[in-house]
Amino acid sequence: MTQRASSRSNRWLTQIFELARFGTVGAFAYVIDVGLFNLLRFGPGELLGEKPLTAKVVSAAVATLVAWVGNRYWTFADKRTTSQWRELVGFAVVNVGGMVIAVLCLWFSHYVLNFTSAVADNIAANVVGLALGTAFRYFAYRTWVFTGAHDAPVTDDDASAAVTSAVPHR
């Protein structure tokens, strides 16, 4: 195998592993998003039972924070920038774009097509909206958010700081 072919093969392998990590973080955030959405809409007390868009915004915001930690410290760890605040703001902006896609799908289904059942709301927001929003987010993260050097070392201190900041202190 030539050096060029080996390099190309390594890039593909790296990309595949990155996509797998992105998918794993996304799956975890998805469970949080869907679970919280349904808890707010249909759970005990139906806290936001008559407000499907508000429930979606709240659930997406919580899932976004979980996804940021996972993507910053695992998926794109080798592409982090030195400014975690710039990344967080960029990540939030991109996720607002992804959330708008999901909310528009829910809005169209719920208010234009008048599909108002729990199944219809979930398909619109958490299947169609999620698929379109996920594709948008992956390419936006790579293009605008995690743009640091590909060989920037990640230290154990960085990883432990992420865990420490993600766990509330008593």
Distance CA 123, CA 140 (A): 24
User: Is the pLDDT assigned to residue 165 strictly greater than 60?
Assistant: no
Query: Which residues does 97 contact at the CB level (< 8 Å), separation at least 6?
Result: 133, 136, 137, 140
Q: How confident is the model at residue 120 (pLDDT cuts 50, 70, 90)?
A: very high
Per-domain residue ranges of the chain: 3-160
**Tens digits of residue pLDDT in 24-65:** 999 999 899 889 989 998 888 878 878 888 998 899 889 888
DSSP string, 26-51: HHHHHHHHHHHHHHHHHSTT-TTTT-
Mean pLDDT of the chain, nearest integer: 82
**Listed range (16-20, 42-46, 94-98, 157-161) with the worst mean pLDDT:** 157-161
